[in-house]
Structure 1
Amino acid sequence: MATVVELSPTSEQSEFALGTPVNKKTPALKVPSLCSMRYGIAFVTHFCNFTLMAQNCTISITMVAMVNNTDHPPHLNSSTEQLPAGLNGDHHEASKHLSTKAPVYNWSPQTQGIIFSSVQYGMMLMQGPGGYLAGKIGTKKVVGIALLGSSLLTLCIPLAANLGLVFLLATRAVQGLMQGTGYGGQFALWQRWAPPNERSRLCSIAMSGMTLGVFTVLLVGGIISEALGWPFVFYIFGGTGVLCCLLWFILIYDDPVSHPWISGPEREYILSSLNQQFSSEEQPLPIKAMLKSLPLWSMCLCSMTHQWLVNTFIIYTPTYISSVFKVNIRDNGFLSSLPFFVAWVLGILGGQLADFLLSKNFRLVTVRKFITILGNTPSAALIAALPYVQSSYITTIIFLTLSCGICPLCQAGVYINALDIAPRYASLLMGTSRGLGHSSAVVVPIVAGFFLNQDSEFGWRNFFFVLFVVNLLGLIIYLMFGKADVQEWARERKLTRL
C-alpha cells in the first residue's frame, strides 16, 4: 500500500520562504556569477525574448507606414509648444515617399486594433500549456521550435497583408500560438537553474530582453521603413529569429546536470541551493487547491492588470506620438524607442534591487510587494496625466519615458512570485499567469479603438483613465492577498511503500 508522506521544508527552504536571506545556508563555494553558465543561460534567454518581442511588435511601428492616414480625420492637436525643427516639417512628404516603396492600406482605427490584438489570442492561450510542455519534454525543444515557427511566420506577414486582411489576421494568430509557447516554456529553466538568492536578477535579465526588443524595433523600424519600405522590417527581424534558433539549440540545456560545459563547483552550487531531491512530474497537479488559492489568483490578476499597462506602451506609443505631434515615421521611431531603453536598464536594475533588499534581511513578501508597487503606481499615474500635458512636447516625452521606464520593475515582483509560492509548479503557473496577463493585450486594442473612434479629442484621456483604474484595482488585490511563502498544496511529498 502506498501512502503520501509530506516532507517538511529544509531549514534553507524555510528561511527563504519566510523572507530571510539564504546566503548563509547555501554552500560556501567559490562560484563565478557573470561569467558563469547560469548567467550565460539568462543572457541567451534574454536574446530569445528580444527576438520574440521584436517580432511581436514590429507592426506597432510599421502600422504608421502601412495605413493611409490621409483618409481619416486627424486627432485634435492642442499642442501650443513648437516641435523641434525637422520633426514635423516633412510628415506628408515622407508619407508619399513611403507609399511608393510598399503597399498602403485603408484600415480604420478599429481595424488596426483588431490587427494589433490578433497575435495576442495565441499568446494568451499557449503560455500555460507551453510551461506544462516544457516541464514534460524540455525547455530546449519547446522554446526552440516555437522561436523557429514565429520567425518563419514573421517573414510571411508582408505576403499575408497583400493577400488580404483575413490572411494577415490568420498569420498573426498562428504566430501568437508560437510566441505564447515560447514565452511560457522558458520559465521551466528557472526551476532548475536559478538559486533562490539569485532568482530576481536572473529572471530580470532574461525577461528584460522583451523590453530591448521593443526598443530596437521602434528605434530602427522607422529608419528601415523609410529607407527600404515597411516589409523589410519583418524580413530583417524574421531572419534574426532564425539565427537566434541556432544559438538557442547549441547553448541551452534543460538543467545543470545535462549541460556539458558547466563547471563542477557551479553545478553543485545550483543543485545544493535548490535541494532538488524529488521530481515534480511524478506527482499529480493539485488543481482543486490551486483554484482555491487566493495568493495564486491575486498574482494572476495583478499580472493581468499590469500587462494592460505594458501592452498600451508596446502597441500605442508610436500611434500616440504620431496622433498628437504629427512627426514623420523616422523621428516617431526614435521618440517611441527612448522610453523602452530606460525600461530595459531599469528592468535589469530592478532584479538587482530585489536581491539586494533580500540580502539586507527584508522579508521576501515585503520585497515582492514593494517592487510591484514601484513598477505599477507611478507608471500608471504618469500615463494617465499625458492628455493634460500634451501642450508641452518636452513634458509629454518626459512623462512617457518615466512611465515606461519604471514599469518593468514588476519583473522582480509579481511576475516571478510563482517561484516563491509554488517552486515545483513554477513553469506552469508562471506561464499561466503570463497567459492570463496577455488577455489584456486582446482587450487593450479593442478598448482603445472604441474610445478613439468615438471621440478624437477626449479618446486618449478616457482610455488612459480606464488604464489607471484597472491597474490600481489589480495592485490592491495583490497587496491584500499576495504571499511569498511556499503554499501547503505546493510542498514536497514523497510516495513511500509500506
Structure 2
Amino acid sequence: MEIRRTETHPKWMFWKKRRYVVATLAFFGFFNVYALRVNLSIAIVAMTENKTITLDNGTIIYGPEFDWDSKIQGYILSSFFYGYITTQILGGWISARIGGKRVYGAGIAVTAALTLITPWLASVNVYLLLAVRIIEGVFEGVTYPCIHAVWARWAPPLERTRLATLAFSGSYVGTVVAMPLCAYLAESLGWPSIFYFFGTLALIWCAIWWVVVAESPDEDPKISKAELNYIKESLGHIDPNRRIHHPWKEILKSLPVWAIVVSHFSENWGFYTLLTQLPKFMKEILNFDLGRTGFMSALPYLAMSIVIPISGYVADRLQEKGILTTTQVRKLFNCGAFLAQTVFMLGAAFVLTPGGTITCLTLAVGLGGFAWSGFSVNYLDVAPQHASVLMGLGNTVGTLPGILSPIISGYIVTTPTAEEWQIIFYIASAIYLFGCLFYGTFASGEVQPWAIEGSSVKDTPMQERAKEGHENKSFEPDI
C-alpha cells in the first residue's frame, strides 16, 4: 500500500488542515484548564494579605479578609487534586468508548460553571470552598486522559509529538497569562473578579469547541478528501467504533508503562510545587508585591510554553529523517530535561536572590518542556488504542504531587525562612533525578506486544519508511 502525497494546501497554511484546527482549539482548551486551576494560587494571596477592611456595621479593622494559616492554605490549594485524581482512569475509559471530544468539552464546561460561584462559596464557609474545588477537580480530571482519545483518531504517527505538544503548551500559556492577569484583576477589581473572568472565558471556549470540532475525521464535514485519506491510511485504518478491551494485567506489569508513569510523577512534582507555592515564595522570601508576584511567577511557564511546541517539532523531525528512533528521541528529550531541572532546582536552592532564583527556576521549568516530547507522547507510542486509559493511569499517579506537595510545603515552610524553602527545592531536585534514571533504564518507544494482540494496529507504510532510517531520510508528510 502506498500513501500518495497529494497537497491541497501549501505547507505553511496549516490552519486549513483540520487536524491542526483540532490541535489549536485543544491548545485553548488547556489554556482554560490551567487558568481555572491556577487562579486560586494568586487569589489566595489577595484573600489572606493584611489590608484595611470596613465591616457591615461600619467598624474599620486591619487584617486579612480570610484568616487562614499556612496549613489551611495548603489544604485549600491541594483540594482541587483530591477530586482530580479520582477521574483520570475513568475519563480515559469513557473517552475510549464515547469519544474524547465530548468528554473534553464537558469537563471544562462544568469546571467553568463552578468557578463562577467560587467567590460566593468562599465568603460563606471555607469548607464550601474546599468542596467546590474538589468537584472542579473531578471534572477537570478527565481532560488530559481524554485528549489522547482525540489524538488516537486525529494524529498521524509521525505528527503525534507536534500535535500533542502544541495542545499541551496551552496549559503553560494559560499559566503565563493567568498569573499576572489574576494579580491585575485582584488589585483593580477585587479577587472575586478573577473567578468571574476566567469562568466566563472558559464557557465561551466550550461553545466554540462543541460547534467546530468533530469526534473523528470521518465525522468532520469540512475536512478535505486528501487529508481524510492521509489520516486514515497513516493510522492503519483503525476502526473508531470498535470496542476496545484493555489488557490491565499486561499494562500493570509493563516496565515501559511504569517508566512513563514515574516520569509523569516526577515532572508534576516540580511543576505543581511551583504552581501552588511560587507566588507565596516570591512574596515571603523575595519580597515582591502582589503585582510583581503574578508577573514573575509567570516567567517559568512562559519559557515552557515556548519550548514545548519547539521540542515537539524537533522530535518529529528527528524521527522523520531517520536520525533517531522513537525510543532514542523519547529518552533523549525526557532524560535531558530532567537532568537540567535537577541542576537548576539545586541552583535555585543555593542562590536565593531575586535575579538568580528567577533565572534558575525559569530555566528549570522552561527546559522541562523537552520532557513533554518524551513521556507525555510516549503513551501513544507503546499502546495507541489504549493511550487514553494509560494517560489516565499516569495522570492518577501524576496527580499525587498536587495533593502532597502543597501540604508538605505547608508543614515545612511555617516561619517562613530561606532555609525552609531550600528543603522544598532539594526534594524536587531529588525526584527529578530519580525520574531521569528510571525512564532512561526502562522506557521504550515501540508498540508493546500486549497492545498489538487482537488489534488492527501495525506499522503503517509511513512508519515503516521512517524506521528504515538513512535510506529514506528525505521522507516528509506534506498533507
| Residue in 1 that maps onto 2:169 | 208
Q: Cα gap change, 1:31/1:342 in structure 2, threshold over 3 Å: closer, same or farther?
A: farther
Cα distance in 2, alignment partners of residues 65 and 117 from structure 1: 18
Cα distance in 1, alignment partners of residues 385 and 403 from structure 2: 30
- Determine if contact 2:285/2:417 at 8 Å carries over to the other structure: no
Residue 494 of structure 1: how far off its partner (Å): 6.1
- From 281, 296, 301, the equivalent of 2:262 is 301
Residue 289 of structure 1: how far off its partner (Å): 1.0
Residue 124 of structure 1: how far off its partner (Å): 1.6
Q: Cα gap change, 1:287/1:159 in structure 2, threshold over 3 Å: closer, same or farther?
A: same
- Determine if contact 2:259/2:438 at 8 Å carries over to the other structure: yes
Cα distance in 2, alignment partners of residues 129 and 324 from structure 1: 41
Q: Cα gap change, 1:453/1:138 in structure 2, threshold over 3 Å: closer, same or farther?
A: same
| Residue in 1 that maps onto 2:5 | 28
Residue 61 of structure 1: how far off its partner (Å): 1.1
Percent pairwise identity: 30
- Determine if contact 1:376/1:471 at 8 Å carries over to the other structure: yes
Matches of residues 19-168 of structure 1 in structure 2 within 5 Å? 26-30=3-7, 32=9, 34-35=14-15, 36-68=17-49, 95-96=51-52, 104-168=65-129
- Determine if contact 1:317/1:336 at 8 Å carries over to the other structure: yes
- Residue 117 of structure 2 aligns to a residue whose secondary structure is helix
- Determine if contact 2:256/2:444 at 8 Å carries over to the other structure: yes
Residue 313 of structure 1: how far off its partner (Å): 2.1
Q: Cα gap change, 1:275/1:450 in structure 2, threshold over 3 Å: closer, same or farther?
A: same
Give the AA of the match of 2:7. Answer: K
Residue 394 of structure 1: how far off its partner (Å): 1.7
- Determine if contact 1:102/1:229 at 8 Å carries over to the other structure: no
| Residue in 2 that maps onto 1:417 | 378
CA deviations over 1:142-187 (Å, ceiling 9, x no partner):
1121111000111111111111111000000000001112232222
Q: Cα gap change, 1:98/1:214 in structure 2, threshold over 3 Å: closer, same or farther?
A: farther
- Determine if contact 1:309/1:380 at 8 Å carries over to the other structure: no
| Residue in 2 that maps onto 1:270 | 231
Give the AA of the match of 1:236. Answer: F
| Residue in 2 that maps onto 1:175 | 136
Cα distance in 2, alignment partners of residues 435 and 31 from structure 1: 41
| Residue in 2 that maps onto 1:255 | 216
Cα distance in 2, alignment partners of residues 320 and 243 from structure 1: 33
Q: Is 1:372–2:334 an aligned residue pair?
A: yes
- Determine if contact 2:88/2:142 at 8 Å carries over to the other structure: yes
Cα distance in 1, alignment partners of residues 54 and 269 from structure 2: 31
- Determine if contact 1:102/1:231 at 8 Å carries over to the other structure: no
Cα distance in 1, alignment partners of residues 254 and 369 from structure 2: 26
- Residue 414 of structure 2 aligns to a residue whose secondary structure is helix
CA deviations over 1:107-165 (Å, ceiling 9, x no partner):
11111111111001222221221111111112222112111100011111111111111
Cα distance in 2, alignment partners of residues 323 and 315 from structure 1: 14
Q: Is 1:383–2:345 an aligned residue pair?
A: yes
Residue 432 of structure 1: how far off its partner (Å): 2.1
| Residue in 1 that maps onto 2:180 | 219
- Residue 282 of structure 1 aligns to a residue whose secondary structure is coil
Cα distance in 1, alignment partners of residues 3 and 84 from structure 2: 37
CA deviations over 1:316-363 (Å, ceiling 9, x no partner):
221111111222111111111122112111111110111121123111
- Residue 276 of structure 1 aligns to a residue whose secondary structure is coil
| Residue in 2 that maps onto 1:363 | 325
- For structure 1, which segment, 161-170 or 313-322, has the greater mean C-alpha deviation from structure 2 after superposition? 313-322
Give the AA of the match of 2:30. Answer: N
Cα distance in 1, alignment partners of residues 54 and 137 from structure 2: 28
CA deviations over 1:227-264 (Å, ceiling 9, x no partner):
00011011000000110110110111111001111111
User: TM-score w.r.t. structure 2 length?
Assistant: 0.89
Comparing both chains, which one has the higher relative contact order based on Cα–Cα distances under 8 Å and sequence gaps of 6 or more? 1
Residue 37 of structure 1: how far off its partner (Å): 0.6
Question: Which structure 2 residue ranges, 5 or more long, are not aligned?
Answer: 457-479
Cα distance in 2, alignment partners of residues 279 and 139 from structure 1: 11
Cα distance in 2, alignment partners of residues 39 and 283 from structure 1: 26
Q: Cα gap change, 1:277/1:360 in structure 2, threshold over 3 Å: closer, same or farther?
A: closer
CA deviations over 1:10-43 (Å, ceiling 9, x no partner):
xx9xxxxxxxxxxxx7542325452211011000
CA deviations over 1:397-438 (Å, ceiling 9, x no partner):
211221221122211111111111101111111222122211
- Determine if contact 2:107/2:140 at 8 Å carries over to the other structure: yes
Q: Is 1:465–2:465 an aligned residue pair?
A: no
Cα distance in 1, alignment partners of residues 406 and 101 from structure 2: 33
User: TM-score w.r.t. structure 1 length?
Assistant: 0.85
Cα distance in 1, alignment partners of residues 47 and 338 from structure 2: 33
CA deviations over 1:373-396 (Å, ceiling 9, x no partner):
232221232122213212x32222
Q: Cα gap change, 1:485/1:456 in structure 2, threshold over 3 Å: closer, same or farther?
A: same
Cα distance in 1, alignment partners of residues 439 and 349 from structure 2: 28
Q: Cα gap change, 1:315/1:98 in structure 2, threshold over 3 Å: closer, same or farther?
A: farther
Residue 483 of structure 1: how far off its partner (Å): 0.8
Q: Cα gap change, 1:280/1:296 in structure 2, threshold over 3 Å: closer, same or farther?
A: farther
Q: CA RMSD in A?
A: 2.2
Residue 463 of structure 1: how far off its partner (Å): 1.3
Residue 55 of structure 1: how far off its partner (Å): 0.3
May I ask how many residue pairs the two structures share in their alignment?
Answer: 446
Cα distance in 2, alignment partners of residues 473 and 335 from structure 1: 29
- Residue 246 of structure 2 aligns to a residue whose secondary structure is coil
Residue 283 of structure 1: how far off its partner (Å): 4.4
Cα distance in 1, alignment partners of residues 455 and 315 from structure 2: 33
CA deviations over 1:77-128 (Å, ceiling 9, x no partner):
xxxxxxxxxxxxxxxxxx5599999972111111111111100122222122
- Residue 187 of structure 1 aligns to a residue whose secondary structure is helix
Cα distance in 2, alignment partners of residues 29 and 151 from structure 1: 42
Give the AA of the match of 2:315. Answer: A
- Determine if contact 1:131/1:427 at 8 Å carries over to the other structure: yes
Residue 457 of structure 1: how far off its partner (Å): 3.9
Residue 312 of structure 1: how far off its partner (Å): 1.5
Cα distance in 2, alignment partners of residues 481 and 393 from structure 1: 38
